[in-house]
């Protein structure tokens, strides 16, 4: 119901029906919030494939830091414990959020095409990287038998910290793109 009432509110905020066209971005963005993206994108990008990619990224991060780690499908295996990456623990939801944020930035702010492409690539890498760090943390907590800490980082409160971090990193990337744009402009 939220998108319908929002579109009606935007329509009523317009002084005349003929001026509704100037609010096309707002109407488009609000309409996107009403679409069940997780159901549509789960057909295009099955969660199982994203979970396996997350397991590979987590294994690579842990291996690079120096841990003895292996990976089998969506399992990240340490000598003293393992985690299975599935459903909400995968990067699936964070990727959707980052792509929606990217779409809002591209619709509202003027960026060159190459900056837009770079922003989309960065948002994907940020989502995969930030969730990979979270999964590494959870794997280490399981391996060290820290159940209470694992429950916190596995729950919504711990996940929201990483989601906020991902959005802040995307904002920094956007501001860097704007800063470079300002440097290119001649000084008056």
Q: For residue range 99-116, list pLDDT tens digits in order.
A: 888 888 888 777 888 888
pLDDT at 45 over 90: no
The torsion defined by the Cα of 164, 170, 172 and 176, in degrees rounded to 10, comes to 180
Between 17 and 67, the higher pLDDT residue: 67
pTM, rounded to two decimals: 0.78
pLDDT attached to residue 58: 93
Q: What is the mean pLDDT of residues 176-183?
A: 70
Q: Which residue has the tokens 């509202």?
A: 108
Residue 121's pLDDT band (boundaries 50, 70, 90)?
Answer: very high
Q: Which residue in this structure is represented by tokens 């470079």? A: 180
Average pLDDT over residues 47-59: 87
Residue 36 backbone class (left: φ over 0; alpha: ψ -120 to 50; beta: rest): beta
- Residues 119, 170: Cα–Cα separation, whole Å: 8
Strands 70-72 and 81-84: unpaired
Question: Distance between CA 124 and CA 102 in Å, rounded?
Answer: 10
**Cα atoms found within 13 Å of the Cα of residue 50, Cβ hemisphere only:** 24
């Amino acid at each position: 119901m939220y998108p319908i009432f929002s579109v009606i509110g935007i329509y009523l905020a317009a002084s005349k029906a003929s001026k509704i066209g100037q609010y096309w971005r707002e109407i488009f963005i609000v309409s996107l919030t009403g679409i069940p993206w997780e159901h549509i994108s789960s057909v295009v990008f099955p969660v199982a494939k994203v979970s396996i990619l997350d397991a590979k990224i987590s294994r690579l991060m842990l291996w690079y830091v120096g841990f003895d780690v292996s990976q089998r499908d969506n399992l990240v295996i340490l000598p003293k414990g393992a985690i299975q990456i599935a459903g909400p623990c995968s990067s699936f939801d964070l990727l959707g959020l980052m792509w929606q944020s990217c779409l809002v930035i591209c619709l509202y702010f003027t960026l060159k095409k190459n900056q837009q492409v770079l922003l989309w690539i960065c948002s994907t890498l940020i989502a995969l990287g930030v969730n990979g760090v979270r999964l590494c943390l959870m794997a280490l907590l399981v391996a060290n038998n820290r159940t209470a800490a694992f429950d916190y980082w596995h729950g919504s409160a711990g996940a929201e910290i990483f989601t906020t971090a991902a959005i802040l990193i995307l904002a920094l990337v956007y501001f860097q793109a704007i800063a470079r744009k300002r440097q290119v402009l001649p000084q008056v």
